[in-house]
């Protein structure tokens, strides 16, 4: 282990991020921490910037110089950020006084037009190269990232540019550059082979260095291969985790940290069947799933007993393979990327209602069980949607109601202890146990849904009511797919009796109830008009749910409840167990 300045480290040579590493994932929080540290280091001798772990990977000639190549197995996020900050400092100096932008500032970033940092994906590397070679920030801002890695790289480059605009003194910029290179120091571990990585990380974890849970599990598995002298298995684990990270980073609308943590937790629930105290999944894996103490206690036995050794290796392989399979399914579920659009639609509906994450262990169990066909998900999701509507949306039950039972069912599916028919029966029984028709009817009418539901969840329920009316009235207007409609900002939720009344008009009590809400294309034109004025617009609406309001002579608390009862009947019929 070495303790070097960032300057010495960057001069080691060429750095490659292996395919098995996750893509660039730093966000504003990490960037702010770095910039704050750079500000603080002005007043202290040095700043510890973390650990870099690398493996020597040959040499490459650039010009007349042979440079050593290294695979970065830990520290790639910081290294990438250092490169982007250095190039941003160089470009800022160029903006102020082009002749004073000394190439020495970026000699460890780019050499003879070759990047000295190589990302783990050709497309990402080309994008990164543009960021470090293009001087026109307006051109950079127009780049169209196609992956989360590229989006994060672009954000960092622009964020640093914006941050440095506050400095107009070249001396100040040079001082920032010098502080980064000379006062920031890193611990450098140089390893001989991949199977040593886990051993290093197990030691570092005991010293409290931060790693994500999924990193800890990956490194623990590699550590076990080192103890068992299984170098080829270490390579296999690294390869598959690289593909896992790629899948998880491709999931849209979720942060990388959130996705990785939920993925590991949900895989563990399905695989093991344990849903108690999930605050430390890596510890549970070490103590209960692939037990570390057995490796220590039986190390010599494994050397002499092939059966025992093979059994332990199989435990590691099986869990690694399960995680690898699940990452692809996780991506398909959360991005709705199944070949069958009905499956995608069913997942979209549950995501819109806000409960898809509660059922992920069950989905993973179904998709990894060869006896369960992917198409089974359509009917399973129909039942889970009923559960969501009756128990969570209108049932006013706690957010974890019935979830432990669903987790238990997930493990039963994974371990072939329950078939498809039995699973559906168990889920319906769970609905019956946790929902009461009398309470449900009251809640549908009296719940202040505008304040308690998300806009998209409420919009979905009102869209379903609209299609119900179209069928009832034999009137058809094609609004597009349910996915398009829910995301359509032109379709809004209108308060029939307005929220903001004109002076002198007494407000209604039931203003945020379901009976007072309707979908519209023309919310801005309706605003705070009286009901009699709105009726003239409702009569020509494309929405049946607006046109039906014309039959009401007046609009008051009583008619809101009356309309609420009609919507109640629709909900009770559509989402009956």
| Whether pLDDT at 474 is above 80 | no
| End residue of a domain, out of 191, 223, 254 | 191
- State the average pLDDT for the chain: 88
- Which helix (H) or strand (E) segment is 15 a member of? strand 13-16
Residue 18: pLDDT band (50, 70, 90) is: confident
Indicate whether 487 and 349 sit together in one domain. no
Cα–Cα distance, 557 to 577 (Å, whole number): 31
List, in sequence order, every beta strand (DSSP E) within 132-272: 184-191
Instruction: Compute the radius of gyration of the chain from its Cα atoms.
Output: 29
Contact 465, 567 (CB under 8 A): yes
- Which helix (H) or strand (E) segment is 172 a member of? helix 170-178
Residue 335: pLDDT band (50, 70, 90) is: very high
pLDDT at residue 475 in the model: 61
SS3 for 397-409 is CCCCCCHHHHHHH
Residue 178 tokens, joined: 């010098």
Indicate whether 66 and 119 sit together in one domain. yes
Q: What is the dihedral of CA 557, 559, 562, 564, to 10 degrees?
A: -70
- Which helix (H) or strand (E) segment is 67 a member of? strand 65-74
Q: Which residue has the tokens 């959130």?
A: 258
Indicate whether 380 and 516 sit together in one domain. no
Residue 278, φ and ψ in degrees, nearest 5: -100, 25
Structural domain includes residue 28: yes
Indicate whether 187 and 200 sit together in one domain. no
Number of folded domains in the chain? Answer: 3
Structural domain includes residue 439: no
Residue 205: pLDDT band (50, 70, 90) is: very low
Domain containing residue 361: 194-434
Structural domain includes residue 481: yes
Residue 100 tokens, joined: 């004073």
Instruction: Dump pLDDT digits (tens) for 342-357.
Output: 999 999 999 999 989 9
Contact 430, 406 (CB under 8 A): yes
Q: Which residue has the tokens 């692809």?
A: 328
Measure CA of the first residue to CA of the last residue in the chain; give whole Å.
62
Indicate whether 361 and 403 sit together in one domain. yes
Indicate whether 344 and 366 sit together in one domain. yes
Closest CA to 343 of 459, 483, 454: 483
Contact 82, 217 (CB under 8 A): no
pTM listed for this prediction: 0.82
Residue 193, φ and ψ in degrees, nearest 5: -155, 165
Q: Which residue has the tokens 């593909």?
A: 243
Cα–Cα distance, 533 to 411 (Å, whole number): 57
Instruction: Dump pLDDT digits (tens) for 128-173.
Output: 999 999 989 999 999 999 989 999 999 999 999 999 999 999 999 9
Contact 72, 54 (CB under 8 A): yes
For strand 65-74 and strand 2-5, is the pairing parallel, antiparallel, or unpaired?
Answer: unpaired
């Amino acid at each position: 282990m070495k303790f070097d300045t960032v300057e010495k480290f960057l001069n080691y040579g060429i750095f490659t991020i292996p395919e098995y590493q996750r893509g660039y994932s730093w966000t504003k929080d990490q960037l702010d921490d770095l910039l704050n540290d750079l500000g603080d280091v002005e007043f202290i001798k040095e700043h510890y910037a973390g650990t870099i772990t690398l493996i020597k990977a040959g040499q490459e000639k650039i010009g007349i110089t042979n440079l050593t190549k290294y695979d970065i197995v830990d520290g790639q996020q910081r290294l990438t950020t250092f490169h982007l900050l250095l190039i941003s400092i160089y470009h800022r100096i160029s903006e102020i006084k082009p002749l004073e932008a000394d190439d020495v500032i970026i000699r460890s970033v780019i050499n003879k037009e070759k990047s000295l940092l190589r990302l783990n994906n050709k497309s990402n590397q080309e994008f990164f190269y543009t960021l470090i070679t293009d001087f026109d920030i307006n051109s950079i801002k127009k780049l169209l990232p196609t992956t989360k890695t590229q989006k994060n790289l672009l954000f960092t480059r622009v964020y640093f540019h914006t941050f440095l605009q506050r400095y107009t003194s070249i001396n100040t910029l040079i001082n920032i550059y010098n502080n980064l290179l000379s006062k920031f120091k890193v611990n450098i571990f140089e390893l001989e082979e991949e199977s040593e990585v886990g051993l290093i990380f197990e030691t570092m974890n005991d010293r409290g260095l931060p790693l994500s849970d999924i990193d800890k599990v990956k490194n623990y598995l590699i550590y076990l291969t080192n103890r068992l002298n299984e170098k080829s298995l270490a390579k296999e684990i690294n390869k598959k985790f690289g593909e896992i990270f790629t899948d998880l980073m491709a999931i849209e609308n979720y942060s990388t940290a959130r996705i990785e943590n939920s993925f590991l937790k949900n895989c563990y629930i399905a695989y093991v069947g344990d849903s108690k105290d999930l605050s430390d999944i890596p510890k549970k894996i070490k103590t209960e799933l692939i037990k570390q103490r057995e490796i220590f206690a039986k190390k010599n036995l494994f050397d002499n007993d092939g059966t025992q050794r093979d059994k332990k290796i199989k435990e590691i392989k099986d869990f690694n393979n399960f995680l690898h399979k699940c990452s692809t399914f996780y991506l398909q579920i959360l991005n709705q990327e199944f070949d069958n659009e009905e499956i995608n639609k069913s997942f979209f509906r549950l995501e819109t209602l806000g409960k898809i994450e509660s059922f992920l262990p069950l989905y993973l169990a179904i998709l990894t069980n060869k006896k369960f066909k992917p198409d089974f998900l359509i009917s399973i999701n129909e039942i889970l949607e009923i559960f969501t509507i009756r128990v969570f949306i209108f049932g006013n039950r706690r957010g974890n109601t019935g979830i432990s039972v669903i987790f238990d069912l997930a493990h039963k599916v994974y371990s072939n202890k329950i078939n498809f028919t039995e699973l559906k029966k168990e889920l319906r029984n769970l609905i019956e146990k946790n929902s009461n028709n009398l309470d449900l009817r009251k809640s549908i009418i009296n719940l202040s849904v505008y304040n308690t539901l998300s806009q998209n969840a409420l919009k979905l329920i009102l869209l379903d009511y609209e299609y119900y009316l179209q069928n009832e009235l034999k009137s058809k207007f094609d609004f597009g797919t349910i996915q398009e409609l829910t995301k359509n900002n032109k379709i809004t939720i209108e308060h029939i009796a307005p929220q903001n009344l004109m002076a002198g008009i007494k407000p209604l009590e039931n203003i945020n109830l379901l009976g007072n809400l309707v979908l519209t294309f023309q919310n801005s034109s309706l605003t705070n008009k009286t009901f009699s004025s709105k009726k003239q617009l409702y009569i020509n609406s494309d929405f049946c749910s607006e046109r039906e309001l014309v039959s009401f002579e007046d609009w008051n608390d009583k008619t809101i409840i009356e309309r609420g009862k009609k919507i109640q009947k629709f909900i009770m019929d559509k989402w009956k167990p």
